[in-house]
Amino acid sequence: MLQKNNICSAAIATFLIFFSRACSPSVSAAAETFLKTEHLPVMGFSGKTAGVVTEGKASYYADRFHGRRTASGETFRIHDFTAAHRTLPFGTSVKVTNLDNGKEVVVRINDRGPHLKGRVIDVSPAAAHILGLIEKGTVNVRIEAWN
């Protein structure tokens, strides 16, 4: 079902971009905004990015959450490469890139959050270590849909 929704979303976005240019500039701008919103889980070919989903601040889960249930029903494990996002569907893989140092990691969305204003994603401590996030607490990141 998720894959069918992704195909449908991609088809709508493609239609809006390629067929709206003749209509008006505002429709075209709306189509490009539609593609860049964080609510569009566009999946690409295996191992390829499918476009920028969003940019913003990332933080990471505290170790004390290890063993607790996530919103998806999974058990949170600090050594797994997982993350919390407010709107992306559970199971969506995203590449998170630290914009300050260029380090990147692919994580799977399995929880909802972050619950602090101004943050776009919470990653597991394992992912935070790869990104160089442990020392700073929060960093600027780019989140891209990944498959």
* Alpha-carbon span 92 to 146, nearest angstrom: 8
Q: Is 13 within 8 Å of 37 (Cβ atoms)?
A: no
> How much is the pLDDT for 14?
44
Low-confidence ranges of the chain (pLDDT < 50): 1-6, 8-46
Instruction: Tell me how far the alpha carbon of residue 100 is from its chain's centroid.
Output: 18
Kindly report the CATH number that applies to the domain delimited by 46-146: 2.40.40.10
Query: Residue 114 contacts by C-beta under 8 Å, 6 or more apart in sequence?
Result: 59, 84, 86, 120, 121, 122
* Alpha-carbon span 56 to 34, nearest angstrom: 18
> Over the stretch 104-143, which tens digit does the pLDDT of each residue have?
999 999 999 998 899 999 999 999 999 999 989 999 999 9
* Alpha-carbon span 91 to 125, nearest angstrom: 18
Domain range list for the chain = 1-36, 46-146
